[in-house]
Amino acid sequence: MGWPYDLSLSLSDDDKLVRRQTIDFYACVAHYSAIAPVLALLLLRLVRRAAASGRDPRDGHGRYDEVPPSPLAKAHRRHPSGSLAARCRRLQWWMHDDVNLGGMYWGQRHEWILGLAWASWLLVLCVRDTGKDYLHLTKRFGAIAVSQLPIQFLLALKALNPFALAFHSSHEGVNRYHRVLGRIVHFLLLLHILFYNYFFFVAAIWLKRFFAPVVFCGVVAFMALNALATTSFARVRQFSYRLFFVVHVASAILIPVLIFFHAPSARLYLVEALVVLFLDIGVRKATTVTAPSTVEIIPGTNLVKAVPGAHIYLNVPSASRINAKSGLFDFLFNPFTVASVDDHHGTITLVARVRNGPMTLLLSQFAALSPVPPAEARRIPLAIEGPYGTMGKHFHDLLGWGAARILLVAGGVGATFALPVYRAIQQELPSTKVQLVWAIRSAGDATWAVSSGGNNGEDRSMLDDDNVHIFLTGDVDVTDGPESVPPGAGAVEMDALSRETVLAAGRNRRRPELNKIVDSTFRQGLEEPVAVLVCGPAEMAREVRRCVRPWAMRGRKVWWHSESFGW
């Protein structure tokens, strides 16, 4: 079977009109085939919410469902319905397994399955009813790709993300699909360009058409898309996240504008994409608050604590910047986990480790300018956007899920996520067995937890809690005195009582044996539902999931959550 498309096919004006109408129709199908399911799910959620609001609140509210003893749970699991449920749980866990190729992380398995399915659907729409018309095929690929741009923008929104609302998730949860769709759109546009270049070469008009204004707008747009894709690689983001962010934002605005002039027939999708983007930016700007903040160095560490006020995005307003090179901060909204909330004083506590980036370095400079006690320190206005976070959407689901045991694993400042969750679970589910494992490099890294709870003794009791296990993975003598404090840390000797408390509470000057900890958690109740939450380095999250996997594949009920700021 030979190549079915004819490059020299001659069409009348009526045929060209029919071709344009067909291209627009399939682009519309591609666009609304992504929108319609989300709208239907949103409508269903609204109906269910309305039905729930009209129900008697006493019906089932506050009902206590006792965890069945192991023999009963085992009998239920062996029942056909229980066996089917166990298979579904195993399938769900398998779908969320990581895909590693060549020692590199390539997303999760369900992303590949969904991505391949959606790419196949779009490819069908690209070739269906194209006949032998090569230019029809070429134009169709471009139209189908552009029809996905509004979906691509919607998946990236923070404040007005309909996909997050429909799937009861957060913008972090659906951002992975934003990346998947981005690769599909990139692939379709690449084929569109290759097909057109081949046609120009065969027709001997490549040089003439390449620099034509309409065509060249498309060329520049594709170059911007390539720049966006290149800076999205993990190594580039790790090298300079602000480079990734600036290129991402600039390209997101530039690409629709260029395609607007390149493809007039697709302008509706481009206007739609820009409208949702700027609407989201406007809502985020309107909801961003500027609060007077106190910034201080946590003694003996390279941690910075900001007390003004899930996670928030922090920005330094122009009035607070201390150097001439301040324009960069207009593009910097860095995520920080809320370590604690004080409803009485209306403040939140954020903890950040000083790195080489401009944001944490500037916060460190602020702290160096405030050597006095926090109560007397200079108040620095900081812009706060949020709160955001997947856990904020799912915490009540966790409370109602029926976990008999909950294991939280944190690494370093990942405890800013784990500690508030640990305390909230203890308060909401006092009968549930909760265990917190916290790995830190040095004892000084835990002093923020000692001082963040005020004078009510809450954090002291937390360190004395038998269910909290602190592991010192680095040199415990790093912060023995002021002479060992890292440069720029304020040269303030760490509170001896706080340090001794941390060391006494930890009792583990080694790395945690995650495999034994996980196995012990699951073996204590052989049929009990277990929730596992982890926040720390990517390697730690992968190791914890690897340890949990054998239990999940046996059909155990596992509630899994991994918190990260990879994107």
Same domain? For 273 and 312 the reply is no
Same domain? For 213 and 275 the reply is yes
pLDDT at 48: 84
Sign, CA dihedral 167-171-173-174, equals positive
Give the residue carrying structure tokens 């835990």.
Answer: 446
Mean pLDDT of 315-320: 70
Give the pLDDT confidence of 458-469 residue by residue, as tens digits: 544 566 778 888
Mean pLDDT of 534-542: 89
Round to whole Å and give the CA distance between 348 and 370.
19
**Do 337 and 316 contact (CB within 8 A), yes or no?**
no
**Do 469 and 463 contact (CB within 8 A), yes or no?**
no
Give the pLDDT confidence of 144-180 residue by residue, as tens digits: 999 999 999 999 998 889 998 888 888 888 999 999 9
| Whether residue 505 has pLDDT greater than 60 | no
Round to whole Å and give the CA distance between 102 and 404.
39
Same domain? For 435 and 484 the reply is yes
Round to whole Å and give the CA distance between 451 and 61.
38
Q: Which domain holds residue 22?
A: 17-49+119-284
Q: What are phi and psi of 359, to 5 degrees?
A: -70, -55
**Do 388 and 312 contact (CB within 8 A), yes or no?**
yes
Round to whole Å and give the CA distance between 445 and 463.
13
What pTM was estimated for this model as a whole? Answer: 0.81
Percent of the chain with pLDDT over 90: 39
Round to whole Å and give the CA distance between 380 and 372.
14
Same domain? For 338 and 433 the reply is no
| Whether residue 309 has pLDDT greater than 50 | no
Same domain? For 228 and 326 the reply is no
pLDDT at 272: 96
| Whether residue 536 has pLDDT greater than 80 | yes
Same domain? For 165 and 293 the reply is no
Mean pLDDT of 55-76: 51
Round to whole Å and give the CA distance between 414 and 391.
14
Give the residue carrying structure tokens 């044996």.
Answer: 513
pLDDT at 506: 47
Give the residue carrying structure tokens 């955001």.
Answer: 388
pLDDT at 306: 52
| Whether residue 217 has pLDDT greater than 50 | yes
- Where is pLDDT greater, at 430 or 385? 430
For residue 64, is it within any domain? no
Mean pLDDT of 341-359: 70
Round to whole Å and give the CA distance between 546 and 486.
35
pLDDT at 301: 55
Same domain? For 226 and 317 the reply is no
Residue 305, strand partner residues: 296, 351
**Do 102 and 96 contact (CB within 8 A), yes or no?**
no
Count up the domains in the chain and report the number: 3
For residue 165, which of 155, 176, 151, 179 has the smallest C-alpha distance?
Answer: 155
Give the pLDDT confidence of 110-133 residue by residue, as tens digits: 999 999 999 999 999 999 999 899
| Whether residue 370 has pLDDT greater than 70 | no
**Do 156 and 175 contact (CB within 8 A), yes or no?**
yes
Domain boundary among 388, 422, 446: 388
Furthest CA-CA distance within the chain: 88
Mean pLDDT of 506-530: 83
pLDDT at 3: 74
pLDDT at 76: 52
Same domain? For 369 and 232 the reply is no
**Do 563 and 173 contact (CB within 8 A), yes or no?**
no
- Where is pLDDT greater, at 235 or 492? 235
| Whether residue 305 has pLDDT greater than 70 | no
pLDDT at 308: 42
For the chain, report the end-to-end CA distance as a whole number of angstroms.
46
pLDDT at 363: 75
| Whether residue 239 has pLDDT greater than 80 | yes
For residue 98, is it within any domain? no
Sign, CA dihedral 367-373-376-382, equals positive
| Whether residue 307 has pLDDT greater than 50 | no
Same domain? For 294 and 325 the reply is yes
Lowest mean pLDDT among 323-332, 337-346, 500-509: 500-509
